[in-house]
Structure 1
C-alpha cells in the first residue's frame, strides 16, 4: 500500500512538529544549566552537594509534572495538558531570570521541571496517537529532534552570552519565554488525540480527526481497532491498573528502559560539560565551546536516528547503543584519568554523544510511547517517565559528589558497567515494535 496516498503526510508531520515544540522547551531547560553553572557556582557559592541538587531540582519538578500530566491527559485530553506545560515554561523562565536567592531559584527551577515533566510525557504520547504505524517511530523521534535543537540553540546562546558579565545566566534562563510563547500559540491549532476522543465517547470528533490524517478507509479501520482495544475499559484511570497482571510485562520493560536511559550516564556529559573539561585544563571559553560541539553532533545523529528507526527497528539500535556506550565510557575514563589533551577527550565525548543520539535517546521515548495499552497509556506512561526523572535526579545529584571523591573519571567506569547490563536486558526482554499499530502491539501483549 502506498502510504503517501493513504495518509496526509504533510498534515501529520505538521501537527507532530507543533506538538514536538514541547521537546524544544525540554531541551532548553535541560541545556541551559550547563552554560549557567560556572556563573551560578559564584552567584550562590555552591559546594558539590548544592551543585548537584541545583542541577537535579529540575528532575524533582519533572516527577510532579508527569504525575499531573498522566491524570490530566486521561481526564481532559492531551491538548489541555500541552497548553498548561507551555504556560508553566513561560512563567518559570521569567521568574528564574529574576532570582535573588538560591531558595527562590530552586523553587522556580522545580516549577520549570513540572512543565518539562508534562511535556516529556505528553508530546511523544500525542505524536504516537496521531501517527500511522508506518511512520510512528520517525514521528515520535521528531520530539527528540526538537529536544536536541533546543539543546544546540541554547548552547549557542549560552556561548555568545558568556561575555555579558556575571549576570549572563539571567539572560540565559529568561530567553526561554520566547519559545514558550511560540509553543503555546502552536498548541491552540492542534486537534485532540483521536484515541483519547474515542476513549471519552466522542466518536464523531475522532472520525473527523482521523479523516484529516488519512483516507476514509484508514479512519474507519483505525476506529474499529481502537474500539476493540477499549472494550471493557473504564473512563476513570488509576495507577493500580498499571500493575495488573495483563499489562505488567510492558510496564516493567517501560520502567527499566526509562531508568536505563538515565543511568547510562550520558546526561552527566550534557549537564557537567564544564566540569569534565575543566578537569583536563580547559578554560571557560573552551568549556562552553564544547557544549556547542556536543549540541551539533547530537543534532546530526538524531537526524540519522529518525531516518533509521523505522527501517533498522528499535531493538538493534538499542543493542548497538548500549554496548557502544559501555566501551566508549571505559576509554573516556582512561583519558580523563591520565589527563589526555582536551582535544582527545573531546573526540571520545563526541563519540559517546553520537552513539547515544542514534540509539537510547530517541528509541527509549518511541518505545515508551507505543508499548502501553490504549486504555491505560496516560497513567502507564507517567509511571515510566516518573521513573526516568527520578533516575535523572539521582544521576546528576551524585555526579559532583562522586567526582570529588573518585576524580572526574571515576563515575564513568560505573556508567560503563550499567550500559553493559542494559545491553543484556534489551537482548533478553525487548521485542521489536516497528511497523505494528498501537492496537496490534496491545493484542500481542495480551497473547503473551
Structure 2
C-alpha cells in the first residue's frame, strides 16, 4: 500500500483502512484499566490532608505540631518545613521510580494486564501497613509498597488505554487515566474533610481506604483482556486477532492487524529495548516523550498544590476545615478540567492545549507570586479578599493544568514509542515523572520557606520555557495511529535530521514508501 502522505491529518499507510465500533467489551476494558489512575490520585489527595491533621502530627511529628500552633518569630512560610515530614510524601515516589523498571520487564514479557494486577496488590498491602502504623518506619514501609503499586500501575495503564483505543478517539480514551486520577484526588479530599473530625484516628481511616481502589483495580484486572499489541508482541497471533476483532466490534481488522504484526516483528528483533532507546532514530521520542514532557509535567508546580494544598491554605491563614474545603474546591476544578480535555483534545489537538494552557498558567503563577509578595509573610494577617483571590487564581491554574499538562503528560508519551521500545520507553517516562515528583514533594516546603513567594515566580518561568519547547519541538499526534508516528518525525523540521527512509522502511516492513 502506498503511503507516507496524510489522509485527513493521519499519515497515509494502512490507517485509512482501519475500522471500529464502540462495543460494551471495549468500554468495560477501558474503565477497569483506567481505575488504576484512582490509586495515583487517591494518594496525591490524601497525603496532603493527612499531613495537616493535628492527630497525625502529634503522633509522628510533634515538632511540626508545636511549630504549627506556636507564634514563632520565623516567617509563616516555614511552618511545615520538616524534611522527615516531606519524606513521608516523597518516599512513595522514590519507590515508584525504582519499581517501574521491574514493571517494564513484566509489561513486555507477561503483558500490560499482569502489571496492573501487581500494582493493585502492592498498593493494597501499602494501605494496610499505613493504616496500622505505630512509628515512622512503618509509615515509610507502607509508602514504599504504595510506591511499588503506583510504579506498576502508571507504567501499564496509559499503555493499555492507548493500545486498546482506536486512533480517532485515543486522546479521550487515554485521558480516562487522568479522569480517574482526578476523581481519586477529589474523593480523598472529601474523606479527609470527614475524617479530620474523627479523633484521634481519623487519619488512619484516610490512609487505610487506599485499599478500596486497589481492590477494585485488582479484581477488575482479573477479568481484563490483554491488549492485541501485547499478545502479538508475545507471539500469540491468533489470540491477538480475536481480541482485536472483539475490541473493534468488527472482523474487518486486516489492515490494523497487519500493522501490529509488522511492529511486532521489529520488536522481536530488539533484544535490549533500553539500549535501543539510545539509538539515533529513537532520539525524538526519548527526548520529548521520555524526558521532557514527564519532567515538565511536574515542573509546572501543580503537584506542589496537590501535595500540600491543605498545608498551603493553612499557611495562608485558613483554619484546618477551611483549608481542606479550599483544596477540595481546587480538586473539583481538576475533575472538571479532565472532562473538558476528554471532550476536546481529539478535536483541537495536543499542541493547542499545551500552548494555550501554558500561557494561562504562566499568568496565574505570576499573579499568585506577586500577591503573596505584597500581602503575606512575617506574621502578616492575610486579608480575606486576598485569600479568596488566591483560591480563585489557584482554581484557574488547576483548570488550565487539568486540561493540558496533566493528562497530556501521560497521553502524548504513550503515543510516541514504537512497539519495540514501548514498555521500556514508558518505564523511562514513569521514572522521570517520579524523580521530579519526589523532588517536588521533598523540596517544595523547604523551597517555600527560603524562596517565599519567589517559588511561584520560579514555576512561572519554567512554564514559559516548557511552552516554548512544545511550540517548536512537539508534532501534533491527534488521530495518528501509534504504529505510524514515525512519519511525524520524518516530516518534522528538526527531528527529520534523525530519521532516515531506511528507518521508516524497517519500522513499517517496507510496505509504506514515501508518497
Q: TM-score range by the shorter chain?
A: over 0.9
User: How far is 1:384 from its partner?
Assistant: 1.6
The answer for the alignment partner of 1:319 in structure 2 is 355
Q: Which runs of 4+ in 1 moved over 6 A?
A: 1-5
Post-superposition CA distance 1:306-345 (Å, at most 9, x none):
0011001001101112221111101011222313532121
C-alpha distance after superposition, 1:423-446 (max 9, x if no partner): 111011101001111111134436
Cα displacement (A) at 1:219: 2.1
Tell me how many residue pairs correspond in the alignment: 447
In the alignment, structure 1 residue 16 sits paired with structure 2 residue 51: no
Match of 1:271 in 2: 307
Structure 1 residue 6, shift from structure 2 partner: 3.0
Distance 2:33 2:466 in 1: 30
1:217: how far off? Answer: 5.3
1:66 alignment counterpart: 100
Which of the numbers 391, 395, 407 marks the counterpart of 2:436?
391
Query: Is the contact between residue 158 and residue 288 of structure 1 (CA under 8 Å) also seen in structure 2?
Result: yes
**Structure 2 residue 281 is matched with structure 1 residue 246:** yes
Alignment of 1:202-217 (within 5 A): 202-216=236-250
Shift of 1:108: 1.4
1:8 Cα deviation after fit: 3.1
Cα distance in 2 for partners of 1:274, 1:431 equals 38
* Equivalent in the alignment of 1:284: 320
Contact 2:19 2:252 in 1 (8 A): no
1:159–1:289 CA contact under 8 A, matched in 2? yes
Residue pairs, 1:351-366, within 5 angstroms: 351-366=396-411
1:231 paired to 2:276: no
User: How far, CA to CA, are the matches of 2:475 and 2:314 in structure 1?
Assistant: 41
Larger Rg: 2
* SS class of match (2:292): helix
Q: In the alignment, does 2:164 pair up with 1:150?
A: no
Deviation digits for residues 32-56 of structure 1 (CA, Å, limit 9, x no counterpart): 1011002333322255222222211
User: Equivalent residues in 2 for 1:137-176 (5 A)?
Assistant: 137-176=171-210
SS of match in other structure, 1:163: coil
> Which consecutive residues of structure 1, in runs of 5 or more, have no partner in the other structure?
none
Identify the range of structure 1 (191-200 vs 340-349) with the bigger mean alpha-carbon deviation: 340-349
Partner of 1:343: 388
The TM-score, its normalising length taken from structure 2, stands at 0.84
Q: Which moved more, 1:409-418 or 1:334-343?
A: 334-343
Deviations 1:208-234 (A, max 9, x none): 101112254542211101122233333
1:408-434 Cα distance to aligned partner (Å, 9 max, x none): x23111100100000111011101001
In the TM superposition, what whole-angstrom CA distance separates every residue of 1:145-185 from its partner, at most 9, and x where no partner exists? 01111111111011011110132111101111122111111
The answer to whether 1:258 aligns with 2:272 is no
- Are the equivalent residues in 1 in contact too, given 2:48–2:311 (CA < 8 A)? no
Q: Give the C-alpha shift of residue 5 in structure 1.
A: 7.8
1:436 aligns with 2:480: yes
CA distance in 2, matches of 1:96, 1:218: 50
Gapped regions of structure 2 (runs ≥ 5): 1-7, 9-15, 65-80, 377-382, 497-515
Question: What per-residue deviation string (whole Å, max 9, x for no partner) do you get for residues 348-368 of structure 1?
Answer: 110111110011111111101
TM-score, reference length from structure 1:
0.96
1:435 and 1:108 map into 2 onto residues whose CA distance is 41
Secondary structure of the residue that 2:417 maps to in structure 1?
Answer: coil
Counterpart CA distance in 2 for 1:5 and 1:446 is 26
Match 1:374 to one of 401, 415, 419: 419
- Hey, what does 1:402 align to over in structure 2? 447
